[in-house]
Amino acid sequence: MTAGPRVGILALQGAVDAHRAALERLGATVEMVKRPDQLDGLDALVLPGGESTTMSMLLDSSGLFDPLAKRLGDGLPVLGTCAGMILLASDVLDGRADQRWFSAIDLTVRRNAYGTQIQSFETDLDIQGLDVPFHAVFIRAPGVEVRGTDVEVLAEVDGEPVLCRQGPVLVAAFHPELTDDDRIHQLLIDQVGPR
């Protein structure tokens, strides 16, 4: 029996335990990433939800930003959810002046585009390639303002992209880890290929 992929979760701030559970259910070996050396040997990475400006500062103070940017540039498969989507975008609206992001997917996103915490919502999404709708949880979700021509839209809410992919980069405006449906995480695992 072959070992599952080694998938890291950026664990500086934000929701990590539910991502860990989903990945472990899929047979992955999960590593919590807090230091640059913990990127070594990873087959894929999750950038979880949380507070994107805080995560940006912690990526700098931990020394992780530049090594992670290099791994992403080298094609490391990655799933960014909510704040992770913001960090992976090519441009961020309504962020702090000193906020950094990775420009790993050709999207301009707006922080908290769907409103405040009390405006959070759930909905069933029709996702390209999945035969049954996915129940999605949106919490202070970012919104896509502009997308590049190479970005594939896998799901929309009211005509607005909420799940997008470009090469090995998959981003969701929602929190797939907050359900027992592991199909979004499986899309990340599928990017890894044979070991």
Residues marked active site are found at 82, 175, 177
What Rg, from alpha-carbon coordinates, does the chain have? Answer: 15
Tell me 48's DSSP state.
-
| Sign for the pseudo-dihedral over CA of 167, 172, 178, 179 | negative
Crossing angle of helices 183-192 and 17-25, rounded to 10°: 70
What are the b/e assignments for 136-172, b being 16+ CB within 10 Å?
bbbbbbbbbbebeeebeebbbbeeebbbbbbebbbbb
Helix (H) or strand (E) holding 33: strand 29-33
Residues in the chain: 195
